[in-house]
A and B are shown apart, each in its own frame.
Chain A
Amino acid sequence: MKFKVFLSVLFSTLILFSNMSLSASPNTLVFSAIPDQDETRLKQRFGDIAKYLEKQLGVPVKYVPVKSYAAVVTAFRNNQIQLAWFGGLSGVQARLKVPGSQAIAQGVEDPKFHTYIIANHSTGLKASDEFPKGVAGKTFTFGSKGSTSGRLMPQYYIEKNMGDKVDNVFKRVGFSGNHSKTIALVQSGAYEVGAVNFKVWEKEVEEGKVDTSKVSLIWKTPAYPDYQWTIRGDVDKEFGEGFSNKVKAALIGLKDPDLLGRFPRSGFIEAKNSDFDPILETAKSIGIID
């Protein structure tokens, strides 16, 4: 008896698996974004963007939350998402993996993006224009391993200024996972020094989420290009001629301050692939991209 149950289960499983077709309705634009801050609110942050795009583009638009930077790149490459809000590095990686894909828009602030080096007050480090060499021997946390402002650029500038690998400069190097967590960890003293996306820092300070008596900004990297919207080259074929231009126009035309605050940016402007060449060069020099 039990045995029959077992067999029936076996066969129904096989049948179900073979029938399990999971293809999306072909004309849904799926997009995602790197999980750079407050992961519990990703859906909230980007759900409304999907609605906005849907209205502008006239096709169904869906946001899927993704756990890591690399997973966004992979999904983009696998055509499971066609549009993504990438960081500088992940965008460069994605466009290398998907020939024909285009950076179409970036935040007003993105051409001149910065990383802030922040320190716990117990270190006694103060804000300066010069690179604070006193960070040597402290514990240090990056954000995500695949982050531009949280990892690539700070690592580049630290190694350039200290003349040594980060592993040798600091007593301990960690990866917090995202920018909000970096701030929290440096504030709690779990790490003495950290590198954080300047927009996230400013937003969280403004919202009163940061205890500035415990953690403060000590140095700001030179400007570099960072976040951008990148779209796959084959969307025109899939959604109709001129679709990527339509998406570009929709993004640049996004003026709702509430929606822009989700990024957080004051607006979007045009972008092109070559804007991010400096990132590519930096990634190559650090060895993240061969």
Chain B
Amino acid sequence: MIQLQSESASYHGVKTLHDIDLLVSKGEKLALVGQSGSGKSTLIKLIYEHYPVNTALVPQDYGLVNNLSVYHNVYIGRLEQHTTFYNLVNLIRPKSEQVEIVRAILVGLQLEDYLFRPVGRLSGGQKQRVAVARSLFQQGHLLLADEPVSSVDEQQSRVVLKQMLNGFSTIVLALHDIQLALAFCDRIIGLENGRIVLDSPADELTEKDLLSLY
């Protein structure tokens, strides 16, 4: 599914990833853990650059359009699957068949009340869930999510992660919350200073093992 061999990456001229070898098979749920600046986001980007097709993305900064409704922001996930004309009509008059699909996704993320509200008027946590909703709507073989639950509370984090696990077979998550990583993923990659320092099945690890990374 994903195969990276001695890859490195630079960010603003500074090398942030070194000699990354990574093999992810279909169906794996993978968590990237490590301090901020350890290279998690860069690795997510790197994977996206290599495998952009059929991949859903939840970037750290969401990239939502504040002036569009929640519905439209979610719908953007499938722009490429429809004709431009269909998209335009939908922009002006939301297509009811699409609205129903989006609504179902929003229900799962406890966002159904905000279907037609402009994203600009949502809280940070709500925006984050909209970004997740887009990826769920988009579907695909692979989900790449960079800190997808950093702004929502514990209880909601679990709801959101569950939805993501249901929606995608293969997942790579950047997560700073060790508990959640251990609870939801089956494989943990630890990053430190741009290098992979840990790669192990989740059930062989305890929180204490991971704390050393922080």
Chain A–chain B contact at Cβ < 8 A? no
Residues of A within 8 A of B (CB): none
B residues near A (Cβ < 8 Å) are: none
